[in-house]
Structure 1
Amino acid sequence: MDKIKKMWCNLSLRKSIILYISAFVILAILLSAGTATLCNNATKTIESKYPPTGEKYYLTNENGERLGDGNYIGVAPVAMSEKDQRLLSICEVAPIIATPIYSALCIITATLLFYRNKLKKPLTELKAASEMISNNNLNFSIKYDSKDELGELCSSFETMRFTLANNFSEMWRQMEERKQLNAAFAHDLRTPLTVLKGYNEILQSNHDPITKSTAVTMGKHIFRLERYVDSMSHLRRLEDAQPISDKSNISGYVTAIADSARILCEQSGKTLSIQNNISDIPIGIDYTFVSQVNNNLISNAIRYATSKVNITYTSNNDGFYLSVSDNGCGFSKNILSKATNPYFTEEENHSEHFGLGLYICKILCEHHGGYLKIENCSIGAKVTAFFKSLD
Structure 2
Amino acid sequence: MDQIKQILHQLSLRKSLVLYVSVFAVIALVLSIGTSLLCNNATSNIKNSYPPTGEKYYLTNENGEQLGEGTYIGGETSPLSMLDERLVSIYELVPIIATPLYSALSIIIAALLFYKNKLRKPLLALRAASEKITTSDLNFTVDYSSEDELGQLCASFEIMRITLANNFSEMWRQAEERKQLNAAFAHDLRTPLTVLKGYDEMLQTSNDAITKEIAITMGKQIFRLERYVDSMSRLQRLEDAQPEYREISLPEFLYSLAENVDMLCSQNGKQLLLQKNTTSMSFIVDRSFISQVSYNLISNALRYAVSTITLTFEEKHNGLLLSVSDDGKGFGKNTIQQATNPYFTEEKNHSEHFGLGLYLCKMLCEHHGGYLKLENLSVGAKVMAFFKTPPL
The answer to which of 123-132 and 213-222 deviates more is: 213-222
Measure, in 1, the Cα distance between the counterparts of 2:177 and 2:232: 14
User: Any idea what SS the aligned residue of 2:273 has?
Assistant: strand
Measure, in 1, the Cα distance between the counterparts of 2:18 and 2:283: 53
Which residue of structure 2 aligns with residue 360 of structure 1? 360
Q: Is the 8 A contact 1:307 1:327 kept in 2?
A: yes
| Aligned alpha-carbon RMSD (Å) | 2.7
Q: Is the 8 A contact 2:308 2:327 kept in 1?
A: yes
Shift of 1:296: 0.6
Q: 5 Å matches for 1:39-78?
A: 39-52=39-52, 55-57=55-57, 71-73=72-74, 77=78
Shift of 1:234: 0.9
Q: Is the 8 A contact 2:251 2:281 kept in 1?
A: no
Which residue of structure 1 aligns with residue 291 of structure 2? 291
User: Once the two structures are superposed, what CA deviation does each residue of 1:213-272 show, in whole Å capped at 9, x if it has no partner?
Assistant: 333332222222122111111111101111122232222222221222211111111122
Q: Percent identity?
A: 62
Shift of 1:320: 1.3
The answer to which of 147-156 and 162-171 deviates more is: 147-156
Which residue of structure 2 aligns with residue 25 of structure 1? 25
User: Any idea what SS the aligned residue of 2:320 has?
Assistant: strand
User: Any idea what SS the aligned residue of 2:382 has?
Assistant: strand
Q: Is the 8 A contact 2:52 2:72 kept in 1?
A: no
Shift of 1:76: 6.5
Shift of 1:85: 6.3
Q: Is the 8 A contact 2:271 2:307 kept in 1?
A: yes
The one-letter code sitting in structure 1 at the alignment partner of 2:228 is Y
User: Any idea what SS the aligned residue of 2:285 has?
Assistant: coil
Q: Is the 8 A contact 1:317 1:389 kept in 2?
A: no
Measure, in 2, the Cα distance between the counterparts of 1:151 and 1:79: 63
Gap runs ≥5 in structure 1: 60-65
Given the superposition, is the C-alpha separation of residues 176 and 218 from structure 1 closer, same or farther in structure 2, using an over 3 Å criterion? Answer: same
Shift of 1:367: 0.9
Shift of 1:372: 1.2
TM-score calculated relative to the size of structure 1: 0.88
Measure, in 1, the Cα distance between the counterparts of 2:281 and 2:102: 55
Shift of 1:309: 1.2
The one-letter code sitting in structure 2 at the alignment partner of 1:233 is S
Q: Is the 8 A contact 1:308 1:327 kept in 2?
A: yes
User: Any idea what SS the aligned residue of 1:165 has?
Assistant: helix
Gap runs ≥5 in structure 2: 60-66
User: Any idea what SS the aligned residue of 1:126 has?
Assistant: helix
Which residue of structure 1 aligns with residue 12 of structure 2? 12
User: Any idea what SS the aligned residue of 2:372 has?
Assistant: strand
Which residue of structure 1 aligns with residue 64 of structure 2? none
Which residue of structure 1 aligns with residue 351 of structure 2? 351
Shift of 1:10: 3.2
User: Any idea what SS the aligned residue of 2:363 has?
Assistant: helix
Shift of 1:337: 2.5
Report the number of matched residues.
382
User: Any idea what SS the aligned residue of 1:269 has?
Assistant: coil
User: Any idea what SS the aligned residue of 1:306 has?
Assistant: coil
Q: Is the 8 A contact 1:200 1:219 kept in 2?
A: yes
Which residue of structure 2 aligns with residue 62 of structure 1? none
The answer to which of 10-19 and 302-311 deviates more is: 10-19
The one-letter code sitting in structure 2 at the alignment partner of 1:186 is A
Which residue of structure 1 aligns with residue 62 of structure 2? none
The answer to which of 84-93 and 195-204 deviates more is: 84-93
The one-letter code sitting in structure 1 at the alignment partner of 2:296 is N
